[in-house]
């Protein structure tokens, strides 16, 4: 079993973490297992926003992808502000549940939101030895 080590001093958690599974989100994601051609279901993920003044990441929410590889309701429109965000996907755990090893224990996608009134879709295409992402609206 592997242990994920989080960088010290870089992540601050809110005291209450909730998954907003029922609300529409201006930010969506979709995990696709490109090795098998199937959705990446049951992938744990976390959404952070950077506080540039303190060089720390604030945890906004945590969730798990559904059977279609999606995690609806990541953030409410009220929470979604301009700034730098990070989606952290537990890909090593995903592959381990299938009895396989992975080169990447996790994948982090860092991106900048300049217009929080737009819709953002940030998919993750993943195999055991590679990953790719892009911005879709």
Binding residues for substrate: 30, 70, 134
> Binding site, residues?
30, 70, 134
DSSP state, residue 7? P
Question: What secondary structure does DSSP assign to 70-111, as a single string?
Answer: B----S-TTT--SEEEEEEE-HHHHHHHTT---S-S-EEEEE
């Amino acid at each position: 079993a592997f242990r994920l080590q989080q960088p010290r001093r870089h992540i601050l958690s809110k005291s209450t973490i909730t998954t907003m599974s029922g609300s529409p989100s201006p930010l969506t994601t979709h995990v696709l297992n490109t090795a098998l051609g199937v959705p990446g279901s049951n992938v744990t993920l976390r959404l952070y926003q950077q506080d540039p003044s303190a060089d720390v990441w604030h945890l906004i929410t945590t969730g798990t992808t559904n059977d279609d590889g999606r995690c609806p309701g990541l953030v409410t429109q009220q929470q979604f502000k301009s700034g730098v965000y990070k989606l952290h996907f537990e890909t090593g755990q995903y592959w381990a549940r299938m009895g396989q090893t992975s080169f990447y224990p996790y994948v982090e996608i860092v991106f900048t939101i300049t217009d929080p009134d737009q819709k953002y879709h940030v998919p993750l295409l993943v195999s055991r030895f590679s990953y790719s992402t892009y911005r879709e609206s």
